[in-house]
Structure 1
């Protein structure tokens, strides 16, 4: 295949990837909104809603490493399409059940769990395939498109769901999700998942290696890669401590600062706006020169923003000032999240050997997902017994320490040797 033809196919992959992700995410967002409203209106119980969230997380925590191992053994396109087909089958079964017997809480629980299983295999395999679908020069754009698709669905999904809820039945929400999933499956089936696939760089793994041994070799691989390990642990601790904002945000605004729920909704929209604008910026520019240095600066800035979120709890502001202040805080969170995640995605796609990429992304998915329910439970308890400003100040301070330790100068210079060379040259210049 000529280089010109490969670039043409990569362009097709890039934009098909964006459209399929956006449609799939939008359908999922509308479905999730309708389902959450249905459960809360049916039961009036936050426990029932929390159970659905836990059941959606569990498969990702347990099965992500297994999905990664299979992604390194089997054609990833099969796993992606198989996962999407499983989602369609699961929701279609729920639709048929609802039509015959009516929607019930146990049916939702079972569907959520199986849906989580199929989505785990699909998402891990797709993440491990991005570097094989586009050329390295456009990896940053691909990662930005991924963020942009979630931003659009995050803004449009609840709006569309809110318009539909109360006017249409839950069966319509299920059909919207199924329709979006079918379109996503169709588009992904036309993509080339091996366009830029590299040959194996090692022969360490034997074809007869057991699943457990293959999983262990993935952990050993991460342990031998200081840069990947530093990013992995940084992401874990960030997901854990940034939950302080996710859990405490609405609690602070509603119960402590007594903001109107409509204003709270607008502050949350600030994050989506930040993601949207920053994703477009990254998609329109070339790859950043020193991605890990950018990650360090952006995560440090996010840690400072966590501390800054405590200010209205220490100094009294007016209601409108509180709204404006927290809108800006969420805007920064959204923007800095993209500035962090996009370069991390590029680093992971380019620095992980082809034969280990599935396992490493499976490990990342497992660790990142596990941190969220732990953080949610932990901070949910802490906010009931400790003043919110102390939690935010402590979390931000710990995050700053984590960034400075895990992304220390030696790790940055290991990732970007040219920075070390520049520093040595500067130090060598006589005064």
Structure 2
């Protein structure tokens, strides 16, 4: 294939990938919200709702390393289509069961777990395939579009899910989900997952290895690559300490500041709005030259914002000022979140060896997701026994110290040797 033809195909991928990701992510968001509302209306039990949430999170954290192994060992295109097809079949099975016997909690839990597991295979495979689908010059644009799709799904999924739950039957709701997943499969079937690849000849030998040996090789590769290991470790720390914000935001806003649920919903929505704005920015701007340094500064900014969450507790602000302050703070947090993730994502797409890319992203997803329930449990307990401002200040300080240590000048020098003696106009190592 000529270079011009590959660029045209990459352009096609850029938009089909974005539309497919939007449909599948939006569909998952709508399904999760709508089915959770159904569980609550069916049982009136918070415990039943929590079990459905666990069925959504736990399979993803457990399966991510295996999804990474599969992405490195088998055809990425077949894997994406099969995993998306599994989501279609899972929802179809729940629909058939509903028509035959009516919905039950056990059937909902099983379907949620299957959809969660299959979506993890799709997500890891797609993430490890971006550099194979898109030319190197437009990877940042693709990452920006990807983040935009996720932000739109985060904003619109609950809205559409709530509307569908209120206006259509659950059977129609499930049929719509099937159609959405099926459209995503059709779009993905048109993609060439080997358009930009250097590892085609390795696929067969990699497949012959045992799964355990292959996954160990991925872990050895990760440990041997200091810069990538720093990124993974820092990402795990971010997910852990920002559990303090995910638990603290509703606790501080609703419990201590007495902000209404309607206004709190607006505050939460500004996070996704900030992510959308920042994603569009990265989709149109030129590629970040020093992504690790750029992301380090964004993480430090996020850490300060985490500490700033406690300010309404020590300042005597009016109700409207509290709502406005938190909305602006969460919008800024959403922006900084993309400022961290997108440059690092582009860097990993280019710097991680294609042979190991799936396993590295699988390990990263698994470790980050594993930190979420641990952080939720720990900080949930802390907020009950320690004043909230001390919890967020302590978390903010710990994250700042972690970032300054993990991304210290010696690591930056290894990542960017040219910054050891910066030319005029280049940033200095910090």
TM-score, scaled relative to structure 2: 0.95
Shift of 1:200: 7.2
Q: Aligned pair 1:152/2:152, yes or no?
A: yes
Match of 1:381 in 2: 381
Match of 1:41 in 2: 41
Contact kept? 1:30, 1:161, Cα under 8 Å: yes
Contact kept? 1:144, 1:280, Cα under 8 Å: yes
Gaps of 5+ in 2: none
1:157-203 Cα shifts (integer Å, max 9, x gaps): 22222222222112222122111101111001101111101137999
Match of 1:394 in 2: 394
Match of 1:284 in 2: 284
Q: Aligned pair 1:55/2:52, yes or no?
A: no
Bigger Cα displacement from structure 2, 183-192 vs 165-174: 165-174
Counting matched residue pairs gives: 426
Contact kept? 2:23, 2:184, Cα under 8 Å: yes
Question: Measured at CA, do residues 208 and 150 of structure 1 come closer, stay the same or move farther in structure 2, by a change above 3 Å?
Answer: closer
Q: C-alpha separation between the residues in 2 aligned to 1:175 and 1:264? A: 32
Match of 2:328 in 1: 328
1:109-160 Cα shifts (integer Å, max 9, x gaps): 1111122221122211111111100011100011111110011111222222
Contact kept? 1:125, 1:358, Cα under 8 Å: yes
Q: C-alpha separation between the residues in 2 aligned to 1:172 and 1:255? A: 37
Contact kept? 2:228, 2:348, Cα under 8 Å: yes
Match of 2:236 in 1: 236
1:360-401 Cα shifts (integer Å, max 9, x gaps): 111011111111111112212221222111110010000000
Q: C-alpha separation between the residues in 2 aligned to 1:150 and 1:202? A: 32
Q: Aligned pair 1:124/2:124, yes or no?
A: yes
Match of 2:415 in 1: 415
Residue 355 of structure 1 aligns to a residue whose secondary structure is coil
1:51-79 Cα shifts (integer Å, max 9, x gaps): 11211222222221111112111111111
Shift of 1:329: 1.0
Q: C-alpha separation between the residues in 1 aligned to 2:134 and 2:367? A: 27
Match of 1:347 in 2: 347
Gaps of 5+ in 1: 427-431
Q: C-alpha separation between the residues in 2 aligned to 1:382 and 1:98? A: 42
- Which stretches of structure 1, 4 residues or longer, exceed 3 Å deviation after superposition? 199-203, 205-208, 423-426
Question: Measured at CA, do residues 300 and 200 of structure 1 come closer, stay the same or move farther in structure 2, by a change above 3 Å?
Answer: farther
Match of 1:429 in 2: none
Contact kept? 1:198, 1:354, Cα under 8 Å: yes
| TM alignment of 1:145-184, pairs within 5 A | 145-184=145-184
Q: C-alpha separation between the residues in 2 aligned to 1:228 and 1:387? A: 36
Contact kept? 2:194, 2:200, Cα under 8 Å: no
Bigger Cα displacement from structure 2, 159-168 vs 267-276: 159-168
Match of 2:306 in 1: 306
Question: Measured at CA, do residues 34 and 101 of structure 1 come closer, stay the same or move farther in structure 2, by a change above 3 Å?
Answer: same
Shift of 1:421: 2.8
Contact kept? 1:243, 1:379, Cα under 8 Å: yes
Q: Aligned pair 1:19/2:23, yes or no?
A: no
Contact kept? 2:84, 2:119, Cα under 8 Å: yes
Residue 421 of structure 2 aligns to a residue whose secondary structure is helix
1:3-55 Cα shifts (integer Å, max 9, x gaps): 11110000000111111111112222222121111112222222211111211
Match of 2:109 in 1: 109
Shift of 1:300: 0.5
TM-score, scaled relative to structure 1: 0.95
Question: Measured at CA, do residues 313 and 193 of structure 1 come closer, stay the same or move farther in structure 2, by a change above 3 Å?
Answer: same
Q: C-alpha separation between the residues in 2 aligned to 1:101 and 1:402? A: 53
Bigger Cα displacement from structure 2, 89-98 vs 45-54: 45-54
Match of 1:193 in 2: 193
Contact kept? 1:54, 1:373, Cα under 8 Å: no
Q: C-alpha separation between the residues in 2 aligned to 1:263 and 1:424? A: 48
Q: C-alpha separation between the residues in 2 aligned to 1:171 and 1:388? A: 43
Q: C-alpha separation between the residues in 2 aligned to 1:163 and 1:344? A: 36
